[in-house]
Amino acid sequence: MKPIRCAQWLLTSSLLLYSTMVMAIDVPAVFSDHAVLQRDLDLPVWGTGAPGTEVSVSFAGQQKSTQVDNHGQWSVILDPVAASAEGRSMTIVGSDGTIEVKDILVGEVWLCGGQSNMEWPLRSSMNADQEIAAGDLPWLRRIKAPHLLSRTPEFDIAAAWEVSTQATAGNFTAIGTFMARRLHEELGVPVGILDVNWGGTRIEPWTSTVAMKRHPRFKERVSKMEKEVARWGDRSAEEIEKLYRDQVTQFEQRTGEWWNKKLDGDPGIVGAWADPSYSDENWEEMPVPGLWAGKNQGWDGFVWYRTSIEVPEKWKGQDLLLQPGAIDDADITYWDGKEVGRTTNQHSLMRSYTISGDLVEAGQATIAIAALDTGGAGGITGAPSAIKIRPVSAKDDEAIGLAGNWKINRGNVFSGDRGPSPPAVPEAPGRKTGDPGVMFNAMLSPFSGYGIRGAIWYQGESNAGQATEYAELLPLMIGSWRETWGQGDFPFGIVQLAAFKATSDNPVQGGWATLRDAQDFTHRVVRNTGLVVLTDVGDARDIHPRNKQAVGKRLADWALHRCHERSDLSESGPFYRSHQIDGKSIVVSFDHAGDGLTGRRGMKIDGFALQGSDGSWHWGEVEVMDEGQLRISHPDVESPTAVRYAWQDNPVRANLVSSHGLPAAPFKTD
């Protein structure tokens, strides 16, 4: 265990400037009231102070002393402490002050990293009300890193430990919570969660630039960013805002010209179809949400939608929030004939338009939408419950739903040009969410060195199209975390991507299977890692499966087996070990089969693809053999060459499990 943070921090000019300014003794946010310390390991404690002053740290009957160095930093390492649910205080005394950190427990500490499925809160998970009602758990605490970016590693972060209560538990990471509950159930000790994640993020910003610059594949990427940083400089927020305003002005000018051209002579404009007095009784009906089929019906261009609602008396004069769903590709939306919003070239954006209160009268009102699609399917999408209208000041339960049958009529017909793309707020290089190292620096570094049992990682959806790169990035990221932590090769649990997207009968569709393969590769080549398989937990329509309980339990069982010698618990389902061609079949051998291989819920084993010598693939027939082996064959394959399993985005046919009921990981032999 290293005694203090990465040496590179001490070389940054910002930190040197800070060290000349600091006077009073201080500790970073990770040492705040209600913290959980890792049991049975050396415990680093660090902070800042005036150079040359003495610092002593007292906790659990021991005291360690040191001196603040010339950079204004200090650190001590406390001896290992046994688990304790008794809230105790840590006292840090300097010649210029005293700090008391209260209500500290000692138990198991896990870092929960990744993107949205790891950040997914308890309140949005399966059986949320029941789980939150069980949230009064004084032994469970978490510290949540806010979403921040930085070009250089940060020493501290604005965060604080929270105790799980019915009032706070809904915001905790659901997976981390369910893992913690299972660990506590088995170990009987407090659990602390370092909740460090950010929805929608790629893996590169979570990997240190120091590690990436050592890798021949990624060093040029970091060098390019550093050159861009040098060219961009430290522009002020005012300069960036002015640049953005100029881009918006140019965009509005281009889109205004574009809309005028597209609407020229449109019957909806000529005939005032948005006007409430217009009669749409002869129009067709179409469900909202719903798509039309585009070119298959000769229907690329404008489709005008109309519906009416009864505005309650109490809404009169209030600003209203109109949420008509996502409109493919563009739209102009009207309220009683007055335009209230338009969106250009953003087919998946859920619209949200404000209707000024001076346009709102009680009684019947007409909503009209000129929806424009320039190719393929078009229409209005989104969950029916998300298509609604309500007063801006009201809650969702007061909204009027707008899903249902709307009247429609065709306007101008054309295809191709989607229109200008809206500008995004300019982001400085080294401060963009996809840049290498920016979340490692801002969100992870302030915790590095804090005693942990291990880390769990659920991410990959945002890198799903770059599986080959991911097979190098994930091991690199794990190594960079372990290097900066200085705690050796701590356990690292990888959550494999869950099943997602529409099902396919193609036995070797690929897609997300290739990213899962990269995660499996990492688990095989990087020591002290685990892999939790979720091919049976996904949701074809939702990238965020709500069943986080199963994920947390599987991670906990892996941790109990790996870290706490619980050999009675299986740390995984079956993993491919080897294969052998045997005449007209291929025999596949597995590890972690338990007492035998079977199909889920006793079903016939499925999900295997067999390749013949002609290169074609067939759904294989499976025969169970002894000692964790399966024989794969097909009547039309005389000379098999390879086997793949669960090689699809959403492998619904894949049902191989161990005797413990855990699913087998996807694999390929070619």
Query: Which residue range(s) make up the domain with 360?
Result: 262-413
Tally the residues of the chain.
670
Q: Give the whole-angstrom CA distance, residue 617 versus residue 513.
A: 16
The closest alpha carbon to 174, from 155, 146, 193, 158, belongs to 193
71 in Cβ contact with 30 (< 8 Å): no
**Per-residue pLDDT tens digits for 165-212:** 999 999 999 999 999 999 999 999 999 999 999 999 999 999 999 999
370 in Cβ contact with 304 (< 8 Å): yes
Flag whether 326 is in a domain.
yes
Q: What are phi and psi of 249, to 5 degrees?
A: -60, -45
* Last-in-domain residue among 413, 441, 471: 413
324 in Cβ contact with 289 (< 8 Å): no
**Per-residue pLDDT tens digits for 398-438:** 999 999 999 999 999 877 788 898 988 888 889 899 999 99
Whole-Å CA distances, 34 to 86, 92, 105, 236: 11, 16, 7, 38
Q: Give the whole-angstrom CA distance, residue 204 versus residue 208.
A: 8
**Per-residue pLDDT tens digits for 636-655:** 999 999 999 999 999 999 99
Flag whether 220 is in a domain.
no
Flag whether 390 is in a domain.
yes
620 in Cβ contact with 643 (< 8 Å): yes
Q: Please give the pLDDT value at position 16.
A: 40
- Tell me: pLDDT of 18 over 70: no
Least confident of 1-15, 487-501, 581-595: 1-15
Could you write out the DSSP letters of every residue in 187-216?
Answer: H-S-EEEEEEE-TT--SGGGS-HHHHHTST
Q: Give the whole-angstrom CA distance, residue 27 versus residue 159.
A: 12
* Last-in-domain residue among 413, 443, 461: 413
Q: Give the whole-angstrom CA distance, residue 384 versus residue 394.
A: 19
Which residues on neighbouring strands pair with residue 351, listed in sequence order? 325
Flag whether 395 is in a domain.
yes
Q: Please give the pLDDT value at position 298.
A: 56
State the amino acid at position 200 in one-letter form.
G
The closest alpha carbon to 288, from 324, 328, 321, belongs to 324
The closest alpha carbon to 481, from 455, 505, 458, belongs to 455
Q: How far apart are the first and last CA of the chain?
A: 42
Flag whether 146 is in a domain.
no
Flag whether 115 is in a domain.
no
Six token digits for residue 625: 């053999």
**Per-residue pLDDT tens digits for 110-169:** 999 999 999 999 999 999 999 999 999 999 999 999 999 999 999 999 999 999 999 999
The CATH code of the domain that includes 326 is: 2.60.120.260
Which residues on neighbouring strands pair with residue 161, listed in sequence order? 143
Cα 468 to chain centroid, rounded = 20
The band of 450, judged by pLDDT with boundaries at 50, 70 and 90, is: very high
Flag whether 613 is in a domain.
yes
Flag whether 456 is in a domain.
no
- Tell me: pLDDT of 3 over 90: no
The band of 23, judged by pLDDT with boundaries at 50, 70 and 90, is: low
Does residue 614 sit in helix, strand or coil?
Answer: coil
Q: How many structural domains is the chain composed of? A: 2
* Last-in-domain residue among 413, 446, 475: 413
